[in-house]
Amino acid sequence: MEIKEISLKTEKYAQKSHFTLLPFGDLQVGSPLFSREVWDRYVGAVKGAQNPITIGMGDYSDHFRPSVQERLTSAIRGYDKESLRSIQDMHRDFIDKKVLPLLKPVIENSSCLGLLAGHHDMDYNNGTNSTQYLCDRLNIPYLGRGEALVRVNLCLSGTNPHKSLNFDIFATHGEGGGAAVGGAIRKLQTLLSHFDVDVILRGHSCDRFVFAEPRYSLTRTHPPRLRCKNRIIANTGGFSESRIEKVTTYVEQANMSPKAMGWVELHIRVKRDAKDGKTSRGTQYIDIWDK
Ligand SMILES: [Fe+2]
C-alpha cells in the first residue's frame, strides 16, 4: 500500500476556500475506443475549475497500439529478434508521442496528486512500468498498482502551517466489475467501513457515480457543537466507448455492460462552525460533496 502526504499551498489561489477534485483514468489511448472528444471536455473542465486537484486512476493507454502488437506477435514467434529488443523503446516512444501530450495540460493546470497504475501497463525489464515512466516524465508521484492512502494538506495562507486543514483519500484502480453498477457501490461501501478516510475513489469499471454518507459528530469545543461531514464513495468514470462500429473489442467480446463516458467532480470547501458567543469565530473544517 502506498502512503503519500501532499501539501497544497494556497497562496497561488485567488479563492482559498473552494477546491475541486477531478479524478481521471481509463482513457486507453491507442485503442479505437478512446474518445478524444470527451477527453477534451475533461481538460476544459480542469482548466475552468476552482483550484483544481487531479489524480490518475489507471489505464491511461492501451497496452500496445495495433502496429506494435503485430511486431510483438512476430517477435514472440521468433521471426523478428530486433523487434523484441526494441519493443520497450517503441512503447516508451508511444507514451511520449501519444499519451504525454494528452496528460500534460491536466498536470500543468492542476495540483496532481499522482498516478495509479492499472491493467493496461507494460512492464519494462528495468523493473518499472509504463505508469511509472509517465510519472517520471510528468514529475508527479507514482501511487502504485494496489491501494494508495493520500493525505492532502491545504496550507491556507495567513494561518499557522501546523494547523493546516487536511483530508484523506483512499484511491485504487480496482479489479472486477463490468456488470451492474450495484456491485461497485457495495464494494466501495464495504471499503468505507474499514478505512477512516474522507473519500474513496475507484476507477477501472468505468462506472461513474458519487455517493455521500453523512456523518454526524460533536466538535471538541466547549460547549460541543453538532457537525455533519460527508464521507464520499466515487467510481470515477472513463474516456473509452463501450461499442463502436466495425471494430470488435474485448469489451464487446466479454459482453460487458456499456458505461456512459465522463468524469466526476468533488468540491472541497473550507467551512467554519457557526459563531459561538462573542469571541469565538467558530472552528474551520472541510466539507466535501459533488455539488
Ligand atoms: Fe483496469
Give the mean model confidence (pLDDT) for residues 207-236. Answer: 89
| Alpha carbon of 205 to ligand 1 centroid (Å) | 7
| Single-letter amino acid, residue 46 | V
> Which stretch of 107-116, 122-131, 179-188 has the lowest confidence by average pLDDT?
179-188
Domains and CATH numbers, the chain: 2-289 (3.60.21)
Confidence of residue 77 (pLDDT cuts 50, 70, 90): low
Beta-bridge partner residues of 287: 269
Question: According to the model, what pLDDT value does residue 281 have?
Answer: 65
Most confident region among 153-157, 161-165, 176-180 by mean pLDDT: 153-157
Question: According to the model, what pLDDT value does residue 283 have?
Answer: 75
For the cut 90, the answer to whether the pLDDT of residue 150 exceeds it is yes
| Alpha carbon of 175 to ligand 1 centroid (Å) | 7
Strands 226-236 and 199-202 turn out to be parallel
For the cut 90, the answer to whether the pLDDT of residue 23 exceeds it is yes
CA 81 to chain centroid: 38
| Alpha carbon of 278 to ligand 1 centroid (Å) | 54
Give the mean model confidence (pLDDT) for residues 262-276. Answer: 85
For the cut 70, the answer to whether the pLDDT of residue 186 exceeds it is yes
Question: According to the model, what pLDDT value does residue 162 have?
Answer: 61
- Which residues surround the ion ligand 1 when the cut-off is CB under 5 Å? 59, 118-119, 204
> Which stretch of 83-87, 200-204, 224-228 has the lowest confidence by average pLDDT?
83-87
| Alpha carbon of 267 to ligand 1 centroid (Å) | 26
For the cut 70, the answer to whether the pLDDT of residue 110 exceeds it is yes
Question: According to the model, what pLDDT value does residue 114 have?
Answer: 97
Full-model pTM: 0.87
Question: According to the model, what pLDDT value does residue 222 have?
Answer: 82
Question: According to the model, what pLDDT value does residue 71 have?
Answer: 65
Confidence of residue 286 (pLDDT cuts 50, 70, 90): confident
Question: According to the model, what pLDDT value does residue 159 have?
Answer: 60
| Alpha carbon of 121 to ligand 1 centroid (Å) | 9
| Alpha carbon of 246 to ligand 1 centroid (Å) | 24
| Alpha carbon of 241 to ligand 1 centroid (Å) | 14
| Alpha carbon of 207 to ligand 1 centroid (Å) | 12
Question: According to the model, what pLDDT value does residue 263 have?
Answer: 97
* Calpha distance 120→27 (Å, rounded): 10
* Calpha distance 211→227 (Å, rounded): 19
| Alpha carbon of 176 to ligand 1 centroid (Å) | 8
Q: How many Cβ atoms sit within 10 Å of the Cβ of residue 167?
A: 22
Give the mean model confidence (pLDDT) for residues 133-161. Answer: 88
State whether the Cα torsion 4-25-213-224 is positive or negative: positive
| Alpha carbon of 269 to ligand 1 centroid (Å) | 31
Question: According to the model, what pLDDT value does residue 107 have?
Answer: 97
- The predicted-structure confidence for 200-219, as pLDDT tens digits, reads as follows 999 988 889 999 999 998 98
| Alpha carbon of 2 to ligand 1 centroid (Å) | 18
Most confident region among 2-16, 136-150, 244-258 by mean pLDDT: 136-150
| Alpha carbon of 11 to ligand 1 centroid (Å) | 37
Question: According to the model, what pLDDT value does residue 179 have?
Answer: 66
| Alpha carbon of 212 to ligand 1 centroid (Å) | 24
Confidence of residue 133 (pLDDT cuts 50, 70, 90): very high
Helix and strand element counts for the chain (H, E):
7, 11
Q: How many residues does the chain have?
A: 291
Q: How many Cβ atoms sit within 10 Å of the Cβ of residue 11?
A: 9
| Alpha carbon of 221 to ligand 1 centroid (Å) | 45
Give the mean model confidence (pLDDT) for residues 84-88. Answer: 69
| Alpha carbon of 263 to ligand 1 centroid (Å) | 16
Question: According to the model, what pLDDT value does residue 57 have?
Answer: 97
| Alpha carbon of 202 to ligand 1 centroid (Å) | 10
